[in-house]
Amino acid sequence: MLQLSQPVSILRMIGPSYLSKLKNLEIETIEDLLYHIPFRYDNYSLVSKVSDLQEGERVTVIGTIKFIKNIYTRHGRKIQKAELEDDTGKIDIVWYNQPFLITILHTGTKVSIAGEVRWFGKRLSFESPDYEIIQNFTHHTQLIHSGRLVPVYPETAGISSKWLRSRIYSLLFKFSPQIEEFLPGNILRKFQLMDEKEAIFSIHFPADYDLAQKARKRLEFDELLTLSLFAQINRRKREDEKTNLKFKVHEFGEKISKFIINLPFALTSAQKKSVEEIVTDLKSDKPMNRLLEGDVGSGKTVVATISMYMAYLNGYSSVLMAPTEILAKQHYDTISGFLSPYGITTNLVTAKNKGPRNKKRTKSAAVTIGTHALLSKNLRFPKLGLVVIDEQQRFGVEQRAQIREKGNSPHSLTMTATPIPRTIALTIYADLDLSVIDEMPLGRTTVKTWVVPSEKRRAAYNWIRKQILSSIPRNQVFIVCPFIEASESLTTVKAATIEYESLKSEIFPDLRLGLLHGRMSSGVKDKTLSDFKEGKLDILVSTPVVEVGIDIPNATIMVIEAADRFGLAQLHQLRGRVGRRNIPSYCLLFTEKENASTLKRLKFLESTFSGPKLAELDLELRGPGELFGLRQHGSPGLKIASFSDIKLIEDSKSAAVEILSTDIQLSNYPLLQKKIQSLSGKNVASN
């Protein structure tokens, strides 16, 4: 019998060419596919007769194709025209550029059509509706692409929601006996949770929105509970762990003070406080496991550097792992600049930069900075005392564990610019101690921010051109296009690409534009970013994937399209990419949704410049009403749940405490145990 844990490749319904595409969606096993969660539903539950159709309705109509044909327009486009008939009348259908449809749908094909009814010329029509062929229609026939709440999934090139829906539907029936309940009845009752099997059914094919919500709540709870258990178990483990890396700090007090005094700036008091908290950890006989949270530009790197210097003084080496080549290089430049006056050798290890010579140097370097290339088996770091991980949410638990295993219980410091409210950080990352840099270095200019009304768009573009051309070197501009779907789907990439093309040909033909999105190879991405960094491009059009930590000194303008789709904290992070020098910098927010509440929300950015405060505002302003919206983006590190579910986060934590209070080993919960194990093997915190 096939098992949930087996790879999708053994399914006959999934051809080999789909495997790598599915991998893009992080789907490798049958279970992954069943747990690929829709982010919204198209409501096609209303099934109507042709004669009852009204303009603007989103409906399903079941009928027979009368005819279908390809028509070529004057512009060389192919249109598919069809007519659908039921026992009350006929309606037109048009599709665009899907010539293969005439080989699928024929005169006489019985079909269920779902879409919006519109005037097309003088006749009511369906425009590009979804369709579903029906072999023998009885009232028992289960429609899956029409006639119901139709799930819409995160997609990738070559894998549509329709494709996923069909596969998931048939798998659900085959595998549902294997989906087992893994929570005890008292927890299910106490937190009013749906049964797991039912939740998996209802998240994909809910009978109504209410069931969809209950299913979602259950799956979010699962995710939060697993994280919470994982964190608490790790915390306990760590409390038992001893390290022989008890750093001496007092002995080197003078040297450390001197290092700090010789920095080109004075530390902010928040930086000082973080350094003190780190010192306390380093002196103790337990390995440090600390999360350093601070806005973009708050100066986390120097805090990490001071910690590395302390390791060096104690005779230990350090590594710093960054998520991208370009960030690693940036850290290398900064940190080696700080350390070389003290005769400390720093080395850079990336995929491009790890020849044998480099390896030799790694052996002797006190500080090694790199990408995940650092994890390579044959790299060793003698006397590794400190591991620093930048942008921790970009790495999986496993990678974070692997780098630590390069040493013998080394101290570890992870850094993030994601403003996670404190209470939530303490729940989800209960295994970490938290230091927050909640203050920007003095003299940092605040980024002047405007919500720009649409009638001023042209004027804004003119102003931007002036800004670019008015200084030497030129000021540079980011233009960020939003996520269109829940993840960076093709639609999103297309939107950024279209924006790029039109800006390039129509608005800024005289300037140098670059395009950046997550579907590019990392080589192309790095090249574009370094071109931008070196001033070879004036404007970078991108999806929100641009690395948050990236330091482009001449970037002074951040333009964000469809700003309403982002959370405030996220917008704040984006704007943190400009204003890094004391040059006036600007953030322009565009939105098509010019209603009072959206404008009011966005205008907070004109007056509020603290990431944590904006994160709190996000929590207040984005109610549970947005359950199926684009809200997920506000919560990096979570796949289904969201940081704004405070109640659910608290519930899941107390459930975790309750479960562990009687069963620390989870020996009565083998399934839960398995889930937690797979957490450490997978990128739980991918985003």
Q: Which residues bind ligand ADP (CB under 6 A)?
A: 265-268, 271, 294, 296-302, 417, 441, 549, 551
Under 8 Å between Cβ of 84 and 106? no
x/- track of binding to Mg ion for residues 494-533 (CB under 5 A): ----------------------------------------
Give whichever of 2 and 266 is closer to ligand ADP, judged by the CB atom. Answer: 266
Instruction: Tell me the one-letter amino acid at 262.
Output: N
Contact criterion met (CB below 8 Å) for 151 and 204: yes
Q: Which is nearer to Mg ion, 549 or 612 (CB)?
A: 549
The nearest distance, CB 323 to Mg ion, in angstroms, is: 11
Asked if 576 touches Mg ion (CB under 5 A), the answer is no
Q: Give me the residues paired with residue 558 across strands.
A: 478, 587
Report how far apart, in Å, the C-alpha atoms of 59 and of each of 88, 92, 119 are: 16, 14, 15
Query: Three-class SS of residue 234?
Result: helix
Distance (Å, whole) CA 2 – CA 177: 12
Minimum distance from residue 392 beta carbon to Mg ion (Å): 11
Q: Which residues contact 581 (CB under 8 A, 6 or more apart)?
A: 553
Q: Say whether 67 sits in a helix, a strand or coil.
A: strand
With contacts defined by CB under 5 A, name the span among 233-241, 345-353, 528-536, 549-557 that binds Mg ion.
Answer: 549-557
The listed partner (Mg ion, ligand ADP, none) that binds 387, CB under 5 to 8 Å by sort, is: none
CB of 333 to Mg ion, least distance (A): 13
Q: Cβ neighbours of residue 354 under 8 Å, at least 6 residues apart? A: 373, 376, 379
Among ligand ADP, Mg ion, none, partner that 569 touches (CB below 5 to 8 angstroms by kind) = none
634 binds, among Mg ion, ligand ADP, none (CB under 5 to 8 A by kind): none
CB of residue 342 to ligand ADP, shortest distance in Å: 17
Residue 384, beta-bridge partner list: 317
Q: Measured between alpha carbons, how far is residue 202 from residues 96, 212, 682 in Å?
A: 33, 6, 25
Q: Which is nearer to ligand ADP, 390 or 564 (CB)?
A: 390
Q: Say if CB 104 and CB 33 are below 8 A apart.
A: no
The candidate with the shortest Cα–Cα distance to 377, out of 397, 400, 403, is 403
The entry of Mg ion, ligand ADP, none near residue 137 (CB within 5 to 8 angstroms by kind) is none
Cβ nearer to ligand ADP, comparing 277 with 551:
551
Least distance (Å) between residue 518 CB and ligand ADP: 21
Task: Choose the one of Mg ion, ligand ADP, none that binds residue 204, judging by a C-beta under 5 to 8 angstroms depending on kind.
Answer: none
Total binding residues for Mg ion by CB under 5 A? Answer: 1
- Residue 500 neighbours by CB under 8 Å, 6+ apart: 513, 515, 541
Q: How far is the CB of 473 from ligand ADP (least distance, A)?
A: 17
Measured between alpha carbons, how far is 519 from 659 in angstroms, rounded to an integer?
Answer: 42
| Shortest CB 304 distance to ligand ADP, Å | 8
Phi and psi at 68, nearest 5°, equal -150, 140
Which residue, 35, 40, 59, is CA-closest to 48?
59
Q: Residue 66: which residues within 8 A CB-CB, separation 6 or more?
A: 82, 83, 84, 85, 90, 107
> What is the CA 84 to chain-centroid distance, rounded?
42
Token pair of 430 as six digits: 């209960």
Tell me the closest approach of the beta carbon of residue 629 to Mg ion, in angstroms.
30
Contact partner at residue 225 from ligand ADP, Mg ion, none, CB < 5 to 8 Å by partner kind: none
Comparing CB distances to ligand ADP, the nearer of 439 and 658 is 439
Residue 396: contacted member of ligand ADP, Mg ion, none (CB under 5 to 8 Å, by partner type): none
Nearer to ligand ADP, 112 or 274 (CB): 274
Residue 455, both tokens? 């009638």
Q: What Cα–Cα distance (Å) separates residue 392 from each residue in 67, 471, 684, 685?
A: 57, 36, 11, 8
Alpha carbon of 506 to those of 206, 475, 480, 532, 588: distances in Å? 46, 20, 18, 21, 20
Least Å from the CB of residue 292 to ligand ADP: 9
297 binds, among Mg ion, ligand ADP, none (CB under 5 to 8 A by kind): ligand ADP
Determine which residue in the list 294, 323, 549, 637 makes contact with Mg ion, applying CB under 5 A.
549
End-to-end Cα, the chain, rounded Å: 34
- CA-closest candidate to residue 660, choices 648, 672, 649: 672
In the complex, least distance from residue 300 CB atom to Mg ion, rounded to whole angstroms = 5
**Which one of the spans 54-62, 105-113, 458-466, 548-556 is the region binding Mg ion (CB under 5 A)?**
548-556
Q: Is 58 helix (H, G, I), strand (E, B) or coil?
A: strand
Shortest spacing between CB 567 and ligand ADP, in angstroms: 19
CA angle 548, 553, 557 (to 5 degrees): 75
Are 680 and 404 in contact by the 8 Å Cβ rule? The answer is: no
- State the binding partner of 302 from ligand ADP, Mg ion, none, CB within 5 to 8 A by kind: ligand ADP
- The residue (of 107 and 257) whose beta carbon lies closer to ligand ADP is 257
Query: Among residues 441 and 584, whose Cβ is nearest to ligand ADP?
Result: 441
Smallest Cα–Cα separation from 161: which of 554, 550, 489, 609? 489
Pairing of strands 130-133, 110-120: antiparallel
Contact partner, 584, from Mg ion, ligand ADP, none, Cβ < 5-8 Å per class: none
Give whichever of 482 and 576 is closer to ligand ADP, judged by the CB atom: 576
Sign of the CA dihedral running 70, 75, 76, 78: negative
Q: Distance between CA atoms of 556 and 548, rounded to whole angstroms?
A: 15
Interacting partner of 386 out of Mg ion, ligand ADP, none (Cβ under 5 to 8 A depending on kind): none
Task: Say which entry of Mg ion, ligand ADP, none residue 641 contacts (CB below 5 to 8 A, set by partner kind).
Answer: none
Closest approach of ligand ADP to the CB of residue 333, in Å: 11
User: Among 120-128, 196-204, 423-431, 544-552, which window interacts with Mg ion (CB under 5 A)?
Assistant: 544-552
CB of 301 to Mg ion, least distance (A): 5
Nearer to ligand ADP, 273 or 512 (CB): 273
Q: Please state the closest distance from residue 323 (CB atom) to ligand ADP, in A.
A: 13
- The count of other CB atoms within 10 Å of the CB of residue 236 is 14
Nearer of residues 436 and 468 to ligand ADP, judged by Cβ: 436
For 224, 445, 558, the CA distances from 585, given in Å and listed in that order, are 39, 7, 8
Nearer to Mg ion, 287 or 549 (CB): 549
The span of 116-124, 542-550, 643-651, 672-680 binding Mg ion (CB under 5 A) equals 542-550
For Mg ion, give the closer residue by CB, 229 or 339: 339
* Cα pseudo-dihedral 101, 104, 109, 110, rounded to 10: -90
Give SS3 for 444: coil
Nearer of residues 263 and 469 to ligand ADP, judged by Cβ? 263
User: Which residue shows structure tokens 């953030």?
Assistant: 587
Q: Which is nearer to Mg ion, 151 or 549 (CB)?
A: 549
Q: What is the nearest approach in angstroms of ligand ADP to the Cβ of residue 167?
A: 42
Q: Which does 265 bind (CB under 5 to 8 A by kind): ligand ADP, Mg ion, none?
A: ligand ADP
- Site track 467-486 with Mg ion (rule: CB under 5 A), x = hit: --------------------
| Residues near Mg ion, by CB under 5 A | 549
